[in-house]
Amino acid sequence: MVSRRLKIHLGNLLDSKDISARELSRRTGVRHVTISKIINGEAIYISIENIEKICIELDIDVNEIMSMIKEDE
């Protein structure tokens, strides 16, 4: 059976843009702990407001931060 799960790409995006999680936090006002949890896949809830702030700051679309991937079970 094939299942799907949400894959977060924020860590890779920050690496490619040479921006640290702490710097993104400073620029967006999103707490560093929140950004770290998003990057590490530990966030249970991500507010639309925070996603918007991150997308605007990084000049990206939301689908560049996360995507659905298929997994075999």
Number of H helices, E strands in the chain: 4, 2
Average pLDDT in the chain: 93
User: What CATH number has the domain bearing residue 44?
Assistant: 1.10.260.40
Model confidence at 5, in pLDDT bands (50, 70, 90)?
confident
Segment 39-66 mean pLDDT? 95
How many distinct structural domains can be found in the chain? 1
Residue-number span of the structural domain to which 21 is assigned: 4-70
| Contact yes or no for 48/30 (Cβ under 8 A) | no
73 has a pLDDT exceeding 80: no
List, for residues 34-49, the tens digit of each pLDDT value.
999 999 999 999 999 9
Confidence bin at 1 (pLDDT 50/70/90): low
